[in-house]
Each structure stands twice: as C-alpha cells, then as structure tokens.
Amino acid sequence: MSEETRNVEPGEEFVESYVVLELPRVSVNILRQRDGSFFYRVEEPSLDEVSRNVLSWLEEQIVGGRLYEEISGSPLEEAITALFERARVRAVRLVRAWRKRLPENYDPDAAALVAAYYAARDYVGLGRLEPLVRDPFVEDITCNGSGLPVYVYHSKYEWLRTSVVLGEEELDRLVSVLGVRIGRSPTLARPVVEGVIKGLGYRVNIELDVVSRRGHSFTIRKPREVVLTVADLIRGGTLNPRLGAYLWLAVQYKQGMIVYGPTGSGKTTLINALAMLVPPEYKIVTIEDTPEINLSFHENWVPLITRPSREEGVEPVTLQSQVEAAMRQRPDLLILGEIRSREAYAFFQAVATGHGGLTTIHGDDAVSLARRLASPPMNVPLTMIASVRAFVKIARMSEEGRVIRRVVKVDEVSGIDHSREEVVFEEYVRWVGGEWSFSNKQSRLLASISDLYFIPIDELEDEVFRRSLVLLYAAKKGMDRFGFQALIRSYLREPERVVRKLSSELGGIA
C-alpha cells in the first residue's frame, strides 16, 4: 500500500492525495465512503517519545514568553524554522541520553522538525485547522459545535466532512484566538461577531453557545488563492471562446452586466476572470463584504470592503456607502461583489451614468430578477435596470461524476414594456443539447457598443471572432495567469499582428 493510502479503512476508497506543507509533510487524503460521500482526512506527522518531550519543552519556552515574541505574527514556515534550531539541540540531548532505548539510526532532526511544526501550528497558526486553512482548494471552513466534525467547502468536491473534531476546551481556545485575530472578541453581551483577519483577508463569523444551540460555532471564508483566467474557464467548460470574446467586449466597452445563479455556481469566479480582460489603464474599483476578488495584477485597482459596526460612536461602512464613495473616484469599471439590498440603486445609477459595471446576485431567471430589483428594498427604476445590457446566468452542473460551473444563458435587455411595467429581454445565448447556441439576431449589446463608440457593427462581429481566436489559443496552450495577461495586453496593443501569429500557430496545436 502506498504512503498516501496507508490510512484507508475498510469500506473506504482512495480518491486522491495532495500535500499542503512540505516540511514536515502534511497532506490531505480524499476518500469515498461506503454511502458514496467523500471524506476529507488530514494526515499529519506522528509524535513519538522524543518529539513529544521536545514539544512540551518548546511549549514551556513559548508560554514563558522567551520564544513567543520571536515567532508571534510570523508565517508558519518561518516559525517552524525559528523553533527547529532550538528543538534540534533538545532532541540531540535526548537521543544521547536515551540511546539505549532508541533505534540505532534514530534521526533527532526529524523529531525536532515534527515538534517545531506542532508548536508553530498551535501557537502561530490555527491549531488543527491549520492544514485546512493552508489547503488552496478549501474555500470555507465551518465548525457547528464541540464534538462535531469540521466541514470544508472544497472547490472540487464541494462540502466535505473532515477528520478534524474539536473538543470543548479546544473550541473555546480557537474561538478566542479567532476573536483576537479579527479584532472583535465575542462576549455574552455581544455573542455574534464577524470581521476579517488582517493580512490574510479571511472573513470570520463567530457565534457563542448562548445563541448557537450545539455549542460555539464559526465559519472562516477564504478568498480564492488561485485566480482563474477566462482561458482556464474555457478549459473547464464554463464557457467557449466565442462567448468569452463577447463578454470581453462587454467589459472593455463599459457595458453593465449582472452575473446571476445559485450559491456556489461560480459567479464571483466569472467576474474576477472577466476583470482580467480590462485594459491595464482602466481604473477599477471593487466593493465587497467578503474580500474574494483578486486583481493584484492590475495596478490601477482600488479594493474596498465594508465595516459592520454595532458600537456606539463607530459608524458602519456599508456596501451602499462604499458604492456612493466609489462614484467620486471616476472608475472605468465598478465591480460590486454581490447585490443584496439598497446598494442596488447606487450600482445601477453608476451604470446608467456611463460607468462600466459588474456585479452578482442570486436568482433563477432574468425576468423574475428584474422584478425583484424593482421591488422593495432595492426599488431600482426600470429605466436604470434597462441600462444593464446583459444578464448572464451561471449554473452548477454534474457531468460524469464531476461538478462543472457553466454559463447556461445570456439575456440582453431589449427595452421596457410600460403597459406591464417590466423589463423586456431577448435571449442571445443558451446552453442546449451539450453546446452553446447563439441567436441569429443581431446582438443588442454589440449594437449598444456600436452606437456609443461609433464602431460599425460588422467590425465588432469580426472583433468577436478575432478575440475568440486569442482565447482559444490561450486555452489550448494552457497558459498561466502571467502568460495570459501578457497575451491580452499584446493583443490590445497590436491586434492584427497577434492574430496573424496565433492563426498560424493554432493549426499546429488544434
């Protein structure tokens, strides 16, 4: 049995394993249970007699204050390195003293490294949650109470039960640590708190047992570490090159768009990928409750977040107030993480006055979504809703045992039916029969670009074709984010030269 599968129990089936920390090796096993569900098992190095003794000694030094200042606030790897040197001296002494009871080739360095890991994990990291936090595929971590398994939302397998179960004392300590990290410790007077771990961008929500019936509970929401490009989405089946090129034109020419769908369908991932297609000189302002959008490649980017407050004298900063503040910054593109309430009016007002706008919202179809936007508490006028040119629906689908996020429909706004007081839509794209079907009618979004920028409509249609070649090339080449960005910027500078080059190369990689 291989190292990855050595802990597979009867009735379990090994699915995959990957490493979340190299030294010492900490890995994750994904297993299939008897009932067909997936299970997330954390594999950490084991502690033997020597490493346990060294760990106890390290903990005494940390609690005594000698080491705490040195490792406090350090990344986990740096803390392990700092502790290892001290742990190694201790381990060598123990091995010499216990040489008669230890194997002849016993390695004190290995024991010291394991002890340093556990000390750093518990005093610098988040204890047994640290492997989950370090997993790039984990987006959410949730604990529902003491003695219950921690669950994670995995980008590939969705919700998974994990092998991590927190006892009451361990949960008390972890809740206290999380409160300190977000700068808002929960109390009996204020049992529900939320905030962001500075430097990491993790959004944390904590509820004490006085309002959480199964014990203290918390949720940690992580921003996506790996930013997906449109080329990645094409390879993953979320959209095709033609649809990607159409959306590319929409964001570049400041056409308002709403991406809607159910929870976990990939709405934020899509708008993040589309923002990577914006010309580098554009000013982008993003506004979110939970920081998920990552445009670190774009220098002219202002990332704004909210600040909830219930304290007297501390003014809360809401999505609505941030949108209104953003309008005074003259953004070329305003990205609102999610529309929920009154901030909708300010967003649509921005789009109606000529700013590019991207946002997400939960919804099933464009017509009912427009009705909801026009109703309390949002109260967006129909004329403002109609200023958004495209409503893009993305859904979560299951194909051959794997989950796929896919754009399944694009509706363009065609006008307002004043007799029925409704926004009228025309379907432009639909996923049907295993492929994307495009309307034979002229795109109203392209017509809007043509009217605003005085570009002939046939030239825009040719541009969709050319850009689809660029995206197809990037997808087939498997470009990373940096190569993709370089290609997009080259195309924006010299489109004809790039298309000629790619057209000749596509024949060789088709």
CA distance 75 to 496: 47
Location of structure tokens 């409509």: 457
Q: Break the chain down into helix, strand, coil percent, rounded to 5.
A: 40, 25, 35
Two tokens, residue 251:
């964001």
Peptide bond into 24 cis (omega under 30): yes
> Interior CA angle at 186 toward 185 and 191, to 5°?
165
CA distance 428 to 442: 9
End-to-end CA distance of the chain: 40
Two tokens, residue 182:
């977000």
Contact 337, 286 (CB under 8 A): yes
Residue ranges of domains in the chain, CATH in brackets: 14-44+129-221 (3.30.450.370), 49-125 (no CATH), 230-454 (3.40.50.300)
CB neighbours of residue 322 within 10 Å: 22
30: left (phi over 0), alpha (psi -120 to 50) or beta: beta
CA distance 446 to 464: 10
CA distance 146 to 128: 14
Half-sphere exposure of 454 toward its Cβ, with a 13 Å CA cutoff? Answer: 0
CA distance 238 to 445: 21
pLDDT (tens digit, 0 to 9) for every residue of the chain, 510 residues total?
334 445 788 889 999 999 999 999 999 999 999 998 999 999 999 999 999 999 999 999 998 777 888 898 888 999 999 999 999 999 999 999 998 899 989 999 999 999 999 999 999 999 999 999 999 999 999 999 999 999 999 988 889 999 999 999 999 999 999 999 998 899 999 999 988 888 788 889 999 999 999 999 999 998 777 789 999 999 999 999 999 999 999 999 999 999 999 988 999 999 999 999 999 999 999 999 878 898 988 999 999 988 877 777 888 899 999 999 999 999 999 999 999 898 999 999 999 998 999 999 999 999 999 999 999 999 999 999 999 999 999 999 988 777 899 999 999 999 999 999 999 999 999 999 899 999 999 999 999 999 999 999 999 999 999 999 999 999 999 999 999 999 999 999 999 999 999 988 887 444
Query: Where are the extended beta strands (E) located within 174-216?
Result: 192-197, 202-207
105, amino acid identity: N
Location of structure tokens 């034109």: 249
Q: How many helices (H) and strands (E) does the chain have?
A: 17, 18
CA distance 340 to 287: 13
Look up the pTM and report it: 0.82
Could you tell me where the DSSP H helices lie in 16-67? 49-63
Q: What is the DSSP letter of 7?
A: T
